[in-house]
Amino acid sequence: MVVSGGVNIYPAEAEQILIDHPEIADIGCIGIPHQDLGEELIALIVPKTPLPNLIQRK
C-alpha cells in the first residue's frame, strides 16, 4: 500500500486497470518518496511493441 497525501493507494488495483490497455505487455506499480505527499505511485510499463531507439549506443 502507498499512502499519498493521506490517501491509501493499492498498487495491485492500479496494475489491474492499466494491464487492460492494448499496448501494455506487463506492468508494475511502486511507491516512491514525495516531498509533499509522503509517497507517490509510479508505473513501470513494458510495451507490447518495442519503442524506437531514441539514442543510439555504440
Q: Where are the domains of the chain?
A: 2-47
Cell 500500500 locates to 1
- The answer to whether the CB of 41 falls within 8 A of the CB of 9 is yes
Q: What is the pLDDT of residues 1-58, one digit of tens each?
A: 999 999 999 999 999 999 999 999 999 999 999 999 999 999 999 999 887 765 655 5
Query: Length of the chain, please?
Result: 58
Q: Tell me the three cell numbers of residue 25.
A: 505487455
pTM value surpassing 0.85 = no
Cα–Cα distances in angstroms (integers) from residue 7 to residues 4, 24, 31, in the given order: 5, 26, 13
The continuous run of DSSP H or E covering 28 comes out as strand 24-34
Q: Is the domain covering 2-47 a CATH 3.30.300.30 domain?
A: yes
